[in-house]
């Protein structure tokens, strides 16, 4: 498992096909911003180009998207309805696409009709030693057959603040161990699951949720809410590869 430097993306080499993993694209977010009075040019083509550049750079044969591909809920915006099919058609010409459905992805199945993109249930899916889901729902029992759960949803970030009160929030990776007792309590057996990786959001308009200052607010989804992931022992990494430390020390 390799985190790509300066990009919120990881690559898995140990499966039968090299796989690029991204989370929380939130395509169409600019429409919500527009409704609040701020005009931002459509960014879907830029997001598509960013992804295709990563596919080309890494030589990935598969692309796993960990939910919240689209942004607007509960409806589908006109922009999403018109442009998402083209977006996925372009991706599927270059790489196999599989999506773990997120809480913003209502109606996504219809938007990818006619493309080769595959949409899983909200519980996610397992491939070998890895389980993938968005994070708003419990993984199914297949998760205990995996060693690593890779998920999104939390938009993890780290907040820097100086003595004068000036602050800056940047995306980060979170990688932490599983509490085996809590895992067994949920699934009836401990299984093989050892660690959870939380993927930062791919959308550059989202600053993220500071894990070190808004801890309780950042515990989104049942795996975190029920303390199956040991957040205190979790390690924080910036996108440039800098290891910040364990969350309990920050």
Q: What is the pLDDT along the chain (250 residues), one digit of tens a residue?
A: 999 999 999 999 876 789 999 999 998 876 666 566 776 767 788 999 999 999 999 999 999 999 999 887 766 767 778 788 999 999 999 999 999 999 988 888 888 888 999 999 999 999 999 999 999 999 999 999 999 999 999 999 999 988 888 899 999 999 999 999 999 999 999 899 999 999 999 998 888 889 988 666 678 899 999 999 999 999 999 999 999 999 999 8
- Per-residue pLDDT, 74: 66
CA-CA-CA-CA dihedral for 89, 93, 99, 101, to nearest 10: 0
Containing structural domain, residue 190: 2-249
Reduced to 3 states (helix: H, G, I; strand: E, B; else coil), residue 178 is: strand
Residue pair 39/80 in contact (Cβ under 8 Å)? The answer is no
pLDDT (0 to 100) of residue 136: 96
* CA distance linking residue 182 with residue 144, whole number of Å: 12
Any idea what the CATH number is for the domain that residue 140 is in?
A: 3.60.21
Can the peptide bond before residue 74 be classed as cis, meaning omega within 30 degrees of 0?
Answer: yes
Query: Rounded distance, CA 179 to CA 224, Å?
Result: 11
Which DSSP symbol is given to 189? S
Q: What CA–CA distances, in Å, run from 162 to 18, 33, 211, 245? A: 41, 30, 17, 18
The whole-number pLDDT of residue 17 equals 87
**Number of domains forming the structure of the chain:** 1
Q: How far apart (Å, rounded) are the C-alpha atoms in residues 10 and 75?
A: 30
């Amino acid at each position: 498992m390799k985190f790509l430097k300066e990009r919120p993306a990881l690559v898995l080499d140990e499966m039968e096909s090299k796989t690029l993993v991204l989370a929380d694209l939130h395509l169409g977010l600019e429409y919500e911003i527009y409704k609040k009075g701020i005009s931002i040019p459509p960014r879907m083509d830029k997001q598509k180009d960013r992804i295709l550049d990563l596919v080309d750079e890494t030589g990935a044969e598969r692309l796993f998207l960990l939910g919240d591909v689209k942004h607007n809920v509960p409806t589908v915006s006109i922009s999403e309805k018109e442009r998402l099919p083209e977006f996925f058609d372009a991706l599927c010409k270059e790489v196999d696409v599989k999506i773990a459905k997120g809480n913003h992805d209502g109606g996504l199945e219809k938007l990818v009709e006619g493309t080769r993109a595959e949409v899983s249930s909200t519980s996610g899916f397992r491939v070998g030693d890895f389980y993938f889901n968005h994070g708003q729902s419990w993984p199914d029992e297949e998760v205990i057959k995996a060693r690593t759960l890779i998920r999104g949803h939390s938009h993890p970030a780290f907040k820097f603040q100086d003595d004068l009160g000036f602050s800056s929030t940047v995306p980060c990776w979170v990688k932490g161990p599983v509490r085996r007792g809590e895992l067994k309590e949920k699934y009836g057996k401990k299984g093989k699951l050892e660690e959870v990786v939380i993927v930062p959001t791919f959308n550059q308009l989202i600053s993220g949720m500071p894990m070190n200052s808004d801890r309780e607010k950042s515990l989104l989804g049942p795996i975190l809410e029920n303390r199956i992931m040991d957040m205190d022992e979790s390690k924080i990494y910036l996108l440039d590869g800098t290891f910040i430390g364990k969350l309990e020390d920050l």
